[in-house]
Amino acid sequence: MKNFKSLLPFLLMLFVWAGCDTDDLRNDVDELKNRVESLEAQVSAINDNMNVLKVLTDGKQTIQSCVYDEASNSYKLVLSDNTELTLTQGKQGTVNYPQITISQNGTWVINGEDSGKGAVGDNAPTPKFAIDANGYWTVDFGNGATQVLGADGQPVLATTSGSVTVTDEFFKDVDVVNGELVVTLQNDEVYSLPIVEALVCDIQTENVNEFKNGVLTVGYGQEVLLNVVVKGDNAFVSAPAGWTAVLGEPDAQTNIAVLTLKAPAESAASTTLGRAATADNTKDLTVQVNKGVAWAVDKIQVEATKVISSYYDLFVAGEAINIEGIELKKSDWESVDNFTIKQITSAGNGSDENKITQNGIYFIQPGATAVYAFTGAVTNMYIIRDASNDKTATLKMNEYARLNNNSDAVNSTFFCG
């Protein structure tokens, strides 16, 4: 018992030490978590500011709303195309932001080094900054991230000594002067955008099936309708050569005007568009709205193309069709034994008309269902969605596709596209 009593002070000391060690560990974890969150906010802030700087250099938009938040020393901006941006000026702190300016040649300059990447124009990239695993700044112009270098040619750390904070000055000065947002870069370059309420130009492309990857694709000679939010005194629309574009009057309640756009006929497109196919501006559809001397501009790319309503019809008419690089022509297959050419049009999957039962070329119309019921060995099988639009067709596999594995036979082809 005496020995046990003599151990009590030592055991209590161990418990106290263990408690302190746990508290220190918890503090270290909390500090690391705060540091990571702060760095993430830092990266977000610089990329938000780059988006604002890109808009300032383009000068094609106006600001319809500018709200200053004193707590974060930031501006919440709504542009004339309804894009929402945040500009964060911050105040002097310990974050080591790269210095970003624009050269006289219109290229991005980072820490005094000319990147050679354009900063002005529709196709000019917006640099995206990040912090690598070692805490150094990286920049990506769209071709992969590279380290940001300082004047000494060495990688630039994202933080200076001490704690991390995101309240650092990115711009030299930001102010609203005479109805304009005025931004001064660290090298004293000045950019501005007018703040004009009730001046909006926004071509609505959300949920427009023909609009993908920034391009509106329209069939030759076909017409599409687009909604455009228009606020201002006057609106103007311009389209590429061969296209027709008519902008209606905006609705008094919604401010939505209907833009009727018609692509050129295929013969006209080959002569008017083919000569300048490499010039991006030949594809620009532009809507402009003014209010006094201020203008709001929105622009999208348009492209005329051949829209195929039925590959089957072209195929049986004797024309060659090209599906994802594979060319098929009826005359090449008419003499092949045990081979069928078939169009499947029904949505029901119980009919023999919907079944695939031998080698052949099968065209499934959008909305129809084909049932794969072939139990033999595949030698040549082509299953094709019978349209060039985005509507879906269904293939139901009731059997495995058994490829011909006979070494003396010609290689099997099984294609779905």
Residue spans of the chain under pLDDT 70:
1-39, 90-95, 159-169, 267-282, 348-350, 404-410
Long-range contacts of 69-76 (CB under 8 A, 24+ apart): 73/167, 75/174, 75/181
Please give the biggest Cα pair distance in the chain.
Answer: 108
Phi/psi for 387 (5° steps) reads: -170, 155
The confidence score (pLDDT) of residue 140 equals: 92
Strands in 100-102's sheet, in edge-to-edge order, are 100-102, 107-110, 113-118
Give the CA-trace dihedral at 34, 39, 42, 48, to 10 degrees: -110
Q: Is the backbone of residue 251 left (phi > 0), alpha (psi -120 to 50) or beta?
A: beta
d(CA 322, CA 308): 11
Reported as a single tens digit per residue, the pLDDT across 231-246 is 999 999 999 999 999 9
d(CA 171, CA 73): 12
Name, in order, each residue with C-beta under 8 angstroms of 317's C-beta and a sequence gap of 6 or more. none
54 in helix, strand or coil? helix
d(CA 347, CA 149): 61
Strands in 360-364's sheet, in edge-to-edge order, are 340-344, 360-364, 380-385, 413-416
Q: What is the DSSP string of 137-202?
A: EEEESSS-EEE-B-TTSSBPBSB-SS---S---SSSEEEEETTEEEEE-TTS-EEEEEB-TT-EEE
Which structure tokens are listed for 208?
A: 């427009």
Contact 111, 187 (CB under 8 A): no
Neighbour-count burial of 232, counting CB atoms closer than 10 A to its CB (0-12 exposed, 13-18 middle, 19+ buried) = buried
This prediction's pTM: 0.59
The confidence score (pLDDT) of residue 26 equals: 52
The confidence score (pLDDT) of residue 160 equals: 56
The confidence score (pLDDT) of residue 162 equals: 47
* 109-122 b/e (C-beta count within 10 Å ≥ 16 → b): bbbeeebebbbeee
Residue 112 to residues 153, 157, 164: CA-CA distances in angstroms?
Answer: 11, 16, 24
d(CA 323, CA 343): 16
For residue 57, the number of C-alpha atoms closer than 13 Å in the C-beta half-sphere is 26
361 in helix, strand or coil? strand
Looking up tokens 């013969």, which residue turns up?
A: 267
Q: Give the residue extent of every domain in the chain.
A: 22-194, 200-305, 311-416
Contact 269, 305 (CB under 8 A): no
306 C-beta neighbours (distance < 10 Å), count? 9
Report the length, in residues, of the chain. Answer: 417
Secondary structure letter of residue 1 according to DSSP: -
Name, in order, each residue with C-beta under 8 angstroms of 321's C-beta and a sequence gap of 6 or more. 308, 311, 314, 315, 327, 328, 329
Q: Does domain 200-305 have CATH number 2.60.40.10?
A: yes
d(CA 357, CA 376): 8
Contact 227, 204 (CB under 8 A): yes
Which structure tokens are listed for 400?
A: 């495995």
Reported as a single tens digit per residue, the pLDDT across 313-335 is 888 888 888 888 889 999 998 88
The separation between the first and the last C-alpha atoms of the chain, rounded to the nearest angstrom, is 85
The confidence score (pLDDT) of residue 243 equals: 95
